[in-house]
A and B are shown apart, each in its own frame.
Chain A
């Protein structure tokens, strides 16, 4: 078995809510509430969940773009939460990020060349010639042409911009790439191109991905293992085959059944959940899902279920498996 490249333990993030006359803290939003997982070298871990479940917050904490409230993040043997600001900045050479909106994450006033050179300058490539050569190389790697270097972001389509975003992440030879909804702003035909590119790059450079998305089909396609989050907690984590074929957690079951399938013959049983996702500022006690759960029991309302292995390599947090 290959070793874990990234190991996250008991990670928490809470944001204070200020209110009242003197701006006292009147509560907190538990955006990420005690989650643990690991990613092996060369694999893709998918993280799915509905809006507000804390999947993006988790991604940002791994890079310490948001400071974790509690917990540890071990990357390549080092605890990232203990690093100084400067050491962390250097560490970001190893961990890069691809963002959702290729329209907002590229500076409109810079040429593509300048955008791609920036990470190289920050991480100490001093020779201008080397940098220019690397930029051309990067553009070709992601399926663009080297003459695109002189253009500005607005001259590209959405899919091409996302390729530039990927090239920027690749510039400094990272080991881990955190992709936060990298294809959700794209049309299906373009989405397929970008997903294929990500897979090719993984093979070519031996990259490890944390792939954050809300589209369950996309996540299954690209991930080796998948974690399902709900209200800041990890509900289930397993390799994608067993998660999609035999989900253990009632939330995963409902989530999977809710996806409309583009096939007229598929008449799957749909579990339509009642109500909305509760606000994380006012998360229910016990299991966060108990109020909407079709299989809810008495114990679910008071005791938070432990996240444990229910089958080999298949983790779930649910009282059904006590």
Chain B
């Protein structure tokens, strides 16, 4: 059996607010194997971004509480010191964000920002060598005229080019895991296609595992091998991309897939999930999706379902599958 490179167990992230402790991520467990692309999908406020920030140790320590285990190659990052986390970030686990403009420093050139990342993690390198590496990396992510580009500032680049720079910066220390938080959401479709193509290529070439956080089911089908569906801070379904798209089991997953307007054919009317996503802090008891679910019965309103394995490939958190035989994983 393959040991996962990242194994998150019962991750629970809560924030201290004026209204008390708000649990945003509630006992989320998932794992990524080396070289795998795992997607986390969900709508705004479902906790997908907070999950990724918790893995990186980037949630503010003073106002939040992270419980559970984040095992990176067996080491629990949830207990790691800040000093250790600084080594992990960038070197072992790197991250790219949605808005490349706000994550690049407008006052420094592309080159100096890339070289900073290189020299921070490999102190022995001279400036010249670091520059050489930066140019090679920029070429690797498909940027033209890399030699000139390292002397330019972020505002001189287009959105797609900036995202390529961000990817170059994230990949420069050969991380084991790349966390991509909505990396193509701010980009146009033709540019999005380029960036997805690039991420696939890097994943194949370098064996870096990718944790892809997105709300776009198209992106998931395009790039991921396995997917975790989140709703109101919980994992509601998990499985291979194949099984989730062909045999979605949770009513929320089904609804989500059906609500996307299909470009290939015109439907008379779109399926829509009634109601709104509940806010953290005012979650319903029982199954969190029950108030919006057309299959909900009495039990759903009282007891919280557990994540049940339907097959080796698929797990679902729903009372509808209570009587089905649990397959042994």
Contact = CB atoms under 8 A, between A and B. Distances in A.
Interface string B213-230: 001111111100000000
Contacts of B233: none
A160 B191 CA distance: 31
Contact of A262 (B188, B191, B217, B273): B217
Nearest to B262: A217
Given A189-B256, A259-B189, A273-B194, 19 more contacts: A50-B188, A160-B276, A189-B272, A193-B273, A195-B270, A214-B189, A217-B262, A220-B262, A221-B261, A221-B267, A222-B261, A244-B264, A255-B189, A258-B189, A258-B192, A261-B263, A264-B241, A272-B193, A277-B188
Contact of B221 (A188, A244, A263): A263
6 contacts: A187-B215, A189-B256, A220-B263, A270-B197, A272-B194, A277-B158
A244 B263 CA distance: 8
Contacts of A220: 261-263, 266
Interface string B137-166: 000000000000000000000101100000
B4 interface: no
A220 B269 CA distance: 12
Interface in B213-268: 215-222, 241-242, 245-246, 255-257, 259-264, 266-267
B282 interface: no
Interface in A144-158: 157
B190 A273 contact: yes
Contacts of B241: 264
Contacts of B261: 192, 195, 215, 217-218, 220-222
Contact of A187 (B44, B190, B245, B274): B44
With most chain A CB atoms within 10 A of its CB, the pick from B193, B215, B241, B246 is: B193
Nearest to A193: B272
Contact of B190 (A191, A193, A254): A254
Interface residues of A, number: 43
Q: What 10 A-B pairs come out closest when comparing CB atoms? A: A260-B218, A192-B272, A262-B217, A221-B261, A50-B188, A192-B259, A187-B43, A258-B193, A189-B273, A260-B222
Interface string A265-279: 010001011001100
B200 to A, nearest CB: 11
Contacts of A50: 188-191
A259 B218 contact: yes
B191 A276 contact: yes
B161 A260 contact: no
A274 to B, nearest CB: 8
Interface in B263-294: 263-264, 266-267, 269-274, 276-277
A276 B192 CA distance: 11
Contacts of B266: 220-221, 240-241
Contact of B160 (A258, A259, A276): A276
B320 interface: no
Contacts of A4: none
Contacts of A261: 218, 221-222, 262-264
A189 B255 contact: yes
A190 B256 CA distance: 10
Contacts of A188: 43, 215, 217, 256, 259-260
A50 B187 CA distance: 9
Interface string B105-138: 0000000000000000000000000000000000
A215 B44 CA distance: 18
Contacts of B193: 257-258, 260, 270, 272-273
B162 to A, nearest CB: 11
A293 interface: no
Contacts, number: 126
A206 B261 CA distance: 23
Main secondary structure of the interface of A (DSSP, over half): helix
Nearest to A260: B218
A199 interface: yes
B189 A217 contact: no
A196 interface: yes
Given A190-B276, A199-B269, A259-B189, A217 B263 contact: yes
A305 to B, nearest CB: 20
A214 B161 CA distance: 20
B53 interface: no
B221 A216 contact: no
A192 B271 contact: yes
Given A189-B255, A195-B270, A217-B263, A260 B190 contact: no
Contact of A192 (B197, B222, B245, B270): B270
A264 B246 contact: yes
Contact of A255 (B190, B219, B257, B269): B190
With most chain A CB atoms within 10 A of its CB, the pick from B190, B246, B270, B274 is: B190
Nearest to A257: B193
A257 B197 CA distance: 13
A221 B266 CA distance: 6
A107 interface: no
Contacts of B272: 189, 192-193, 196
B219 to A, nearest CB: 5
A263 B270 contact: no
A51 interface: yes
B242 A264 contact: yes
A264 B224 CA distance: 10
Given A157-B276, A190-B276, A264 B259 contact: no
Interface in A165-194: 187-193
B196 interface: yes
A263 B241 CA distance: 9
A69 to B, nearest CB: 26
Given A216-B189, A273-B194, A263 B259 contact: no
